[in-house]
């Protein structure tokens, strides 16, 4: 679920950005996120993105069950480039490949029903290149992951997982594991790959402990 390449770093990042608010959905740099688009305002958003720079910002609402059409948003999101597109009747099936995180500097006037923001890219320039593996305790992560997948009924290709490079592994797991909105946001806002790996490992281990103690709360949804 990760990909991309140096070509993303060579393209300028825009001064305005459409955003797609979705709770418990995480996009990270070089991660690949498939999306099923069907709401008219987001169909319009994809049309406009395809006609322009193909960039869409993924961001979470602070309330995972917002009642209004313009819920409050977390400050930090991640932009992705549309790298695959298909039509399925009234729906669009797209894949976003993560490019760089951003902070919302300001929200702009609504265009065609979807939301636009002014992004601040300054804190996240390091996102444009692959991250070093410093601080990744791979053995501990995989140990916790095996117990977590078993409890969750998730089938995994362990030979492939064990040979996947650290950044791709942590990125893919952070995006696909069924954590809640706050946990996904913590993974997004991690300062570097080592911190993201530590947060991911802690979430996995806590989920296993919660299951063993009979608790149903925590990072699952």
> Has residue 43 got a pLDDT over 60?
yes
Q: Which structural domain, as residue segments, surrounds residue 155?
A: 138-213
pLDDT for 212 beyond 80: no
Residues 124 and 158 in one domain: no
pLDDT for the residue 29: 98
pLDDT at residue number 36: 97
Give the CATH number for residue 72: 2.30.130.40
**1 occurs within a structural domain:** no
- Whether residue 170 sits in one domain with residue 124: no
Structure tokens at 9: 């770093």
Clarify whether residues 84 and 178 are in a common domain.
no
Residue 158 and residue 101 share a domain: no
- 21 and 119 inside one domain: yes
pLDDT band (50, 70, 90) for residue 111 = confident
What's the rounded mean pLDDT across residues 41-67? 92
Mean predicted lDDT score pLDDT of the chain: 90
**Backbone angles phi and psi of 212, in degrees to 5:** -65, -30
Residue 126 makes CB contacts below 8 A (sequence gap 6+) with 192
Indicate whether 218 belongs to any domain: no
Q: Does residue 219 sit within a domain? A: no
Would residue 30 count as lying in a domain?
yes
2 pLDDT above the threshold of 80: no
Greater confidence (77 vs 63) lies with 77
Instruction: Establish if 149 belongs to a structural domain.
Output: yes
- Please give the tally of structural domains in the chain: 2
Pairing relationship of beta strands 76-88 and 91-111 according to DSSP bridges:
antiparallel
pLDDT at 65: 72
- In this structure, are 95 and 159 located in the same domain? no
Residues 115 and 165 in one domain: no
Whether 133 is in a domain gets the answer no
Whether 31 maps to a domain, the answer reads yes
Residue 108 lies in a domain: yes
Task: Looking at the structure, tell me whether residues 15 and 86 fall in a common domain.
Answer: yes
- CA–CA dist 188, 219 (Å, integer): 15
Q: What's this model's pTM, rounded to 2 decimal places?
A: 0.88
d(CA 87, CA 81): 17
Query: Tell me, what's the pLDDT at 78?
Result: 98
In DSSP terms, 95 is beta-bridged to 34, 84
**Residues 131-168: tens digit of each pLDDT:** 888 889 999 999 999 999 988 888 889 999 999 999 99
């Amino acid at each position: 679920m990760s990909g991309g390449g140096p070509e993303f770093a060579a393209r300028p990042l825009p001064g305005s950005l459409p955003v797609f608010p979705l709770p418990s959905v995480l996009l990270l740099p070089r991660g690949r996120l498939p999306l099923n688009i069907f709401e008219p305002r987001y169909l319009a958003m994809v049309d406009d993105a395809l006609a322009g720079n193909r960039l869409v910002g993924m961001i979470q609402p602070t309330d995972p069950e917002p009642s209004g059409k313009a819920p409050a948003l977390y400050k930090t999101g991640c932009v992705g480039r549309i790298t695959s597109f298909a039509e399925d009747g009234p729906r669009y099936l797209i894949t976003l490949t993560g490019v760089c995180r951003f902070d919302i500097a300001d929200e702009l006037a609504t265009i065609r029903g979807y939301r636009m923001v002014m992004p601040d890219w300054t804190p996240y320039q390091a996102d444009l290149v692959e991250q070093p593996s410093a601080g990744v305790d791979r053995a501990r992560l995989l140990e916790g992951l095996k117990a977590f997948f078993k409890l969750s009924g998730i089938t995994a290709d362990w030979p492939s997982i064990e040979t996947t490079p650290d950044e791709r592994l942590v990125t893919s797991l952070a995006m696909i594991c069924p954590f809640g909105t706050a946990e996904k946001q913590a993974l997004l806002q991690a300062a570097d790959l080592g911190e993201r790996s530590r947060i991911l490992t802690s979430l996995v281990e806590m989920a296993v402990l919660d299951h063993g103690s009979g608790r149903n709360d925590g990072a699952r949804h």
